[in-house]
A and B are shown apart, each in its own frame.
Chain A
Amino acid sequence: MTGIAHRSARTNAETREAVKRFFRTGSIFIALALLWTALAFASPYFFTQQNILNILLQSSTVGILAAGVTLVLIAGEIDISVASVQALAATVSATVIITHDGSVALGIAAGILVAVVAGSLNGYATIYARIPSFIVTLAMLGIAQGAAFLVTGGQAIGEFPHSYGVLGQGKVGPVPVPVIIAGAVYLVLHLLLSQTPFGLNVYAVGGSRNASRLAGLRIERTIMTVFVISGALSGLAGIILSARLDAAHGSFGASDLLDAVAAVVIGGTSLFGGAGGVIGTLGGVVIISTIRNGLVLLNVEAFWTQVVVGGVILVAVLLDQMFKGELAPRDLVPGLRRA
């Protein structure tokens, strides 16, 4: 047998690869489906259109942040400033619109611009100052958070005009606007990562810096772009969040960082870079929101919340590993002899 192997064997092998690939990205949704089934049985209020839409609505801004984190992680870096930049964009936008009577469009533009600048600074420091991105974005976390408080003097600034509020509270039919926006973000990012040469570069740069450099890829440009996109997404999330709450305050969404990173990890994107995707992250985000929703619906004692969240995450990731074929149930029993 010469060449690439007999045609039928090749098709079999390729089908197997395709199936494996499907499970790698889609497996988290199996875990999600199981969770939803369990909750549907546990509470009659869970599986209604309104409640499911609520879950998606509550996932929207964290989801947008998580999408940005995913992108940066795939490129082999990390961005932990996302939640703070979200708050900064929200407070800047609120200040422009409410305190200074600017137009809604101007406020939104200002908020997103500030977020993009933050992202660019992250990228610049990581690439040219050669500071590890964890440290850079940790510093930006503090800077953006502090700036968000300074901008509003520590107060909550509230009551936006209606055209702004629509972004957070409006609906198209039964579907809330933030869900539509988040959905669009995920679609665009998924296509970007999976279909375009830029997306391919992101995976290459994250997979092997050395190989990418030797192959002549523009590493600096790729990394800068992912940080700028992450910044822009944080800005977008800030606008939507403040529209939803009809107020902006430096502390809003501070806990979103942990949720976003957890969602990305649950979704299967490797913390080492070079692998993963936004689809998995989407599953992770919805799982986290589902857990919170379930806890309130079932009136679970609050101290159990943290235990349950941690436990469900662990189980979800275990199931995910098994579906990906990287873990067999047998491996979980220490000392079990191999056949």
Chain B
Amino acid sequence: MSLAVGSGPQPQPVVEARGVTKAYGHVQALGGVDFAVYPGETVALVGDNGAGKSTLIKILCGALQPDSGRLYVGGEEAHFASPRDARLRGISVVYQDLALVENFDVAHNVFLGRAPVRFGRVDRRRMAQETTTVLTELTVELPSVRTPVRFLSGGQRQAVAIARAVHQGGRLLIMDEPTAALGVQEGTKVLQLIEGLKSRDLAIVVVSHNLEHVFAVADRIVVLRGGKVAGSRAKAGSTHSDIVHMIVGADVGGAA
């Protein structure tokens, strides 16, 4: 469970799920999953289709309720009735479809649902300023924060969605397939962005089926198979084929 062997007493996980199960009708999507994320680490969550990745992160971010099991944030037990609850506890999500409003500009999307208000009026100047700041910090290039996102490229939109999650503050950032819809060039840019996030003392969970990208950014790789954790490996010392075997079903060994 520790990142480096013999590094001293274990820190508290930022978020931990214990014994989480979830069924949809007759289908057991998750059959008892233990999953923890520690401060500062980037964990990749991988698995085949139907392994339970989306279900797990939906539970972690409050979009779904588990049938059984418990969630802990910073050691304390937590219940999330909605993604808003999770956000208020410091868990932000970048959804696979990005959940952006096409007609809104960059600033409005970054502040979606959290627009600052001054004397009853929406404070657009502050929105523009803070959006510019966070995008600069993330070294994202955009002509203007007032451009409607429908005019942006896929990679730029991904950056906006990530900027929103980052700006929300918090300790855990979950990303669902951040590079899946992007070409090589833009995908690389997004990976750089994620790399840049590591300096922020954020814990990051990346769900991806692109093993190359996984190996590029992850510190640790957790494999789900058939609704259960098939294994957890530090990236250092693992090979692609090790991971593929775990995804597909040949156990290679290693603690969760």
Say yes or no for B255: interface residue by CB 8 A criterion. Answer: no
Once bound together, how far apart are the Cα atoms of A216 and B81, in whole Å? Answer: 11
11 pairs of residues in contact across A and B, judged by CB atoms under 8 Å: A1-B141, A4-B136, A13-B144, A197-B117, A207-B103, A208-B101, A214-B83, A214-B95, A214-B99, A216-B84, A275-B103
Q: A3-B135, A4-B136, A274-B101 are in contact. Are A204 and B145 (CB under 8 A)?
A: no
Say yes or no for B235: interface residue by CB 8 A criterion. Answer: no
Report whether A212 and B101 are in contact in the complex, using a CB–CB cutoff of 8 Å: yes
Say yes or no for A215: interface residue by CB 8 A criterion. Answer: yes
Say yes or no for B233: interface residue by CB 8 A criterion. Answer: no
Say yes or no for B142: interface residue by CB 8 A criterion. Answer: yes
A223 to chain B, nearest CB (A): 16
Task: Report, nearest first, the 3 A-B pairs whose CB atoms are least far apart.
Answer: A216-B84, A215-B113, A13-B144
Contacts of A10 in B (CB 8 A): 143-144
Q: A196-B121, A197-B117, A214-B83 are in contact. Are A4 and B142 (CB under 8 A)?
A: yes
Say yes or no for A2: interface residue by CB 8 A criterion. Answer: yes
Report whether B104 and A197 are in contact in the complex, using a CB–CB cutoff of 8 Å: no
Say yes or no for B207: interface residue by CB 8 A criterion. Answer: no
- Residues of chain B from 154 to 208 with CB closer than 8 A to chain A in the complex: none
Task: Give the most central of B101, B104, B132: most A CB within 10 Å.
Answer: B101
Once bound together, how far apart are the Cα atoms of A1 and B140, in whole Å? Answer: 10
Report whether B115 and A4 are in contact in the complex, using a CB–CB cutoff of 8 Å: no
B112 touches which of A2, A196, A211 (Cβ 8 Å): A211
Once bound together, how far apart are the Cα atoms of A104 and B203, in whole Å? Answer: 65
Q: A3-B136, A211-B112, A217-B113 are in contact. Are A17 and B146 (CB under 8 A)?
A: yes
A104 to chain B, nearest CB (A): 33
Task: Give the most central of B63, B95, B144, B146: most A CB within 10 Å.
Answer: B144
Interface string of B92-122 (1 = CB under 8 A from A): 0101010111111100100011110100111
Secondary structure class of chain A's binding surface, majority of residues: helix
Say yes or no for A48: interface residue by CB 8 A criterion. Answer: no
Contacts of B93 in A (CB 8 A): 214
Say yes or no for B28: interface residue by CB 8 A criterion. Answer: no
Say yes or no for A339: interface residue by CB 8 A criterion. Answer: no
Once bound together, how far apart are the Cα atoms of A196 and B124, in whole Å? Answer: 11
Contacts of A18 in B (CB 8 A): 146
- The chain B residue with its CB closest to the CB of A21 is B146
Report whether A210 and B99 are in contact in the complex, using a CB–CB cutoff of 8 Å: yes
Report whether B102 and A2 are in contact in the complex, using a CB–CB cutoff of 8 Å: no
Report whether B113 and A216 are in contact in the complex, using a CB–CB cutoff of 8 Å: yes
Report whether A195 and B135 are in contact in the complex, using a CB–CB cutoff of 8 Å: no
Say yes or no for B87: interface residue by CB 8 A criterion. Answer: yes
- The chain B residue with its CB closest to the CB of A270 is B103
Further contacts, 16 of them, CB under 8 A, given A210-B97, A216-B83 = A1-B141, A2-B139, A4-B145, A5-B143, A10-B143, A17-B146, A197-B122, A200-B108, A204-B101, A207-B104, A211-B112, A212-B112, A214-B93, A215-B114, A216-B84, A217-B112
Once bound together, how far apart are the Cα atoms of A304 and B147, in whole Å? Answer: 44
Say yes or no for A220: interface residue by CB 8 A criterion. Answer: no
Once bound together, how far apart are the Cα atoms of A200 and B103, in whole Å? Answer: 12
Report whether B101 and A4 are in contact in the complex, using a CB–CB cutoff of 8 Å: no
Say yes or no for A14: interface residue by CB 8 A criterion. Answer: yes
Report whether A215 and B139 are in contact in the complex, using a CB–CB cutoff of 8 Å: no
Task: Give the most central of A200, A274, A275: most B CB within 10 Å.
Answer: A200
Report whether B147 and A204 are in contact in the complex, using a CB–CB cutoff of 8 Å: no
Once bound together, how far apart are the Cα atoms of A210 and B63, in whole Å? Answer: 12
- Residues of chain A from 210 to 267 with CB closer than 8 A to chain B in the complex: 210-212, 214-217
- The chain A residue with its CB closest to the CB of B106 is A4
A208 touches which of B102, B121, B141 (Cβ 8 Å): B102
Q: A204-B104, A207-B101 are in contact. Are A5 and B84 (CB under 8 A)?
A: no
